[in-house]
Amino acid sequence: MTTTVNTPAPNPQGLAGIVAATTALSKVEGNLGRLIYRGYNIHDLAKTSTFEEVAHLLWAGHLPNSAELAAFKTKLAAHRKLSPAALSVLQALPKTAEPMDVLRTAVSADGATGEISGTPTLDQAIMLTARIPVILAAFARLRSGQTPLESRADLGHAANYLYLMTGEVPSEAQERALNAYLVMLADHGMNASTFTARVVASTQSDLASAVVAAIGALKGPLHGGAPSKVKDMLEEIRAAGGKEGAEKWLRGQLDSGQVLMGFGHRVYRTVDPRAEELKGMAELASPQEFEFASYIEDLALRLLGEYKPGRKIYTNVEYYSAVLLGSLGLPGDFFTPTFASSRVAGWTAHVLEQAANNRIIRPESDYTGPETAAFVPLAQR
């Protein structure tokens, strides 16, 4: 007689190791510290490409030639303006609102106009990607009592964003730094916000809904909310005595079970390739801030090795993002929204990929509650 034993299926926390989709967009190799977009290594793209080139690569499947890039830039620039609906929302929201909440609400308002409805299209992806930096910069100026600026067609995507934020045309070095940041954050496999966007898209919902949902996921401090937390951490260490008080402050965090922001990654078990690139850029952009951040990084890594031996915790992309974005004059609460202004290229590319070969994403859950509860009528409870 044969006895069959029903072994429960493995249930990894957070769906670790579970393949939820197939994609030709990007590949994250955590053990090797490697990130590729459609076959291209992130180091090559960060050093030589603009955000426009990478967005074209993600959406069209190839890097553009000169004519394609010129046409693409023209199309992107044509959409760099606020819709009346978004402007009304920005003017109505309190100046104290979190920029990520503002972005989520303004994109939702654009979705409600009917411009971004029905089956997701490339034109819609271009429109949303062009508008997000305009929304962010407009709110930044409105909350400080200034009038939003008009985009400049003669500026590239990164330079126009900085111009709209500050009112000054950025230097070549500043434009190059932000371009590299936007390139490196444009896509990153099946991260939480991208997964969220694909789940929404799988229901045959519209692109605006998918992006709004992705923004909500990115807002969390365990995902896109980390760079501003790094800035807060470095400022707290400075206030606690700077380098002299740093070890005491860091040990206090670790002793109380708190995480050190900017360290560790869900996928990478070696150096995050994006962190390598950003570290070099941060040193050029802000030598004084870099020197302090680098000192804290070395100390933090030593202490993490002491407190969490064998865990392979390394500096992640958020750590030097904070230094780089701060050097560009962006307020700390705009670090994550700026992340969104890059990742929207990846979100929309994934939505288009999902829509092209769709099946609703509907995973199972492992029920752990009771199964034989006796019902008691309301009068007897």
Alpha carbons 60 and 78: distance in angstroms, whole number:
19
Amino acid at 298: D
Alpha carbons 381 and 365: distance in angstroms, whole number:
30
Our answer to whether residue 318 is catalytic in this structure is: yes
Amino acid at 213: A
Our answer to whether residue 62 is catalytic in this structure is: no
Strand partners of residue 29: 34
CA 63-67-73 angle, to 5 degrees, is: 75
CB 179 within 8 A of CB 50: yes
Please pick, among 265, 289, 297, 353, the residue that the annotation labels catalytic: 265
Six token digits for residue 98: 């979190």
Report which secondary-structure segment, H or E, holds 26: strand 26-29
Phi, psi (deg, nearest 5) at residue 262: 95, 5
Please pick, among 175, 318, 350, 353, the residue that the annotation labels catalytic: 318
CB 213 within 8 A of CB 197: yes
Q: Which of 81, 193, 74, 186 is nearest to 133 (CA)?
A: 81
CA distances from 231 to 151, 236, 296, 319 (A): 29, 9, 12, 8
Q: Which of 165, 295, 288, 315 is nearest to 227 (CA)?
A: 315
Six token digits for residue 22: 């197939």
Six token digits for residue 271: 């150096």
Question: Could you give the 3-state DSSP secondary structure of residue 155?
Answer: coil
Q: What is the largest CA-CA distance in the chain?
A: 82
Report the catalytic residues. 265, 318
